Amino acid sequence: MSAALIVGNWKMNLLAEEATLLAAQLVQRCATLKNSSVWIAPTLLSIPQVSAVVKGSKLLLGAQNIHWEKQGAFTGEVSAQMLQEFGVSFALIGHSERRHVFGESNELCAKRLGACLHSEITAIFCVGESLAQREGGATNSTLEAQLGAAIDSFADAQLSKLIIAYEPVWAIGTGKVAGALEINQAHGHIKSFWENRSKKSAPPILYGGSVNPENLKSILELPLVSGVLVGGASLSFDKFAKMIEIAEALA
């Protein structure tokens, strides 16, 4: 496989001091990276401090969400320009917690994607089915609706700087990781759907959902997996460092 991408999504965890400490440990760990890339997405409030720590290092800094307008009356939101001021180079979009807890629709997620496509920020566009959708045989149609809304909102030429993360909702934070067959099928479906719908070849696809040092190797060995999006296990330096070591050894 080519170099794996390991992304830590810190969600609403870690106070600024804790985030800064973890980032500093990771900067040190990543100084000698050869075969993998490591990205982290702290809370918005920690970004200025973490930004100062990761500046000039191999670690890339990301945001957990992004708004499509430059500025204006959008309480609680932050624009690409505001994030770029602090060295943010990627953003998560459509994470299942945004979709399910905060009710973000496919159309709204597509608008957020526009913020990335029109700026220097790389999008990690998250898709995935709930347990009910999987059990009801609606996995593929759910992925198609989520992806289709995004692809159809932009011209092919605009669809660059984009990464997809397949994160089955039932595997996020549950300790229940998707099996190789499920990951292969979903990634394969995302790739073929994308390539039928767009002239651009499919973006790299990450897997996310209960990834940890024990299951990482077998996930990264799957042919259509370009990396992983890690929640819980990215909050522990020891676990995340172990995962980086595994990715480095595999590539």
Supply the residues annotated as catalytic: 95, 167
Toward ligand PGA, which CB reaches closer, 25 or 236? 236
Burial grade of 49 (CB within 10 A; 0-12, 13-18, 19 or more): middle
Under the binding rule (CB under 6 A), the answer on residue 230 touching ligand PGA is yes
Nearer to ligand PGA by Cβ, of 48 and 173: the residue is: 173
**Shortest distance, CB of residue 40 to ligand PGA, whole angstroms?**
12
Residue 211 C-beta: closest distance to ligand PGA, Å: 5
Nearer to ligand PGA, 211 or 224 (CB): 211
Binding of ligand PGA at residue 231 (CB under 6 A)?
Answer: yes
Stretch near ligand PGA under the rule CB under 6 A, chosen from 35-43, 44-52, 68-76, 204-212: 204-212
Distance CA 194, CA 197 (A): 5
How many residues sit in the footprint of ligand PGA (CB under 6 A)? 13
Shortest Cβ distance from residue 79 to ligand PGA (Å)? 23
Using rule CB under 6 A, residue 33 touches ligand PGA: no
Q: Which of 51, 154, 232, 240 binds ligand PGA (CB under 6 A)?
A: 232
Q: How far apart are CA 170 and CA 133, in angstroms?
A: 10
**Nearer of residues 104 and 167 to ligand PGA, judged by Cβ:** 167
| 169, 128 contact by CB (below 8 A) | yes
Region binding ligand PGA by CB under 6 A among candidate stretches 12-20, 25-33, 135-143, 206-214: 206-214
Of 40 and 154, CB closest to ligand PGA: 40
127-132 long-range contacts, CB within 8 A, separation 24+: 127/94, 127/164, 127/165, 127/166, 127/167, 127/190, 128/96, 128/166, 128/167, 128/168, 128/169, 128/171, 128/172, 128/186, 128/208, 128/209, 129/168, 129/169, 129/170, 130/100, 130/169, 130/170, 131/169, 131/170
d(CA 190, CA 64): 22
Closest alpha carbon to 88 in 38, 39, 28: 39
> Which of these segments, 38-46, 68-76, 145-153, 228-236, binds ligand PGA (CB under 6 A)?
228-236
Based on CB atoms, which residue is closest to ligand PGA, 22 or 198?
22
User: Which position among 4, 5, 9, 36 is part of the footprint of ligand PGA (CB under 6 A)?
Assistant: 9
Of 220, 233, 190, give the one whose Cα is nearest residue 2.
220
Residues 172-201 that bind ligand PGA (CB under 6 A): 172-173
Exposed/middle/buried for 6, CB within 10 Å: 0-12, 13-18, 19+?
buried
> Binding of ligand PGA at residue 167 (CB under 6 A)?
yes
d(CA 186, CA 143): 8
Site residues (vs ligand PGA, CB under 6 A): 9, 167, 172-173, 208-211, 229-233
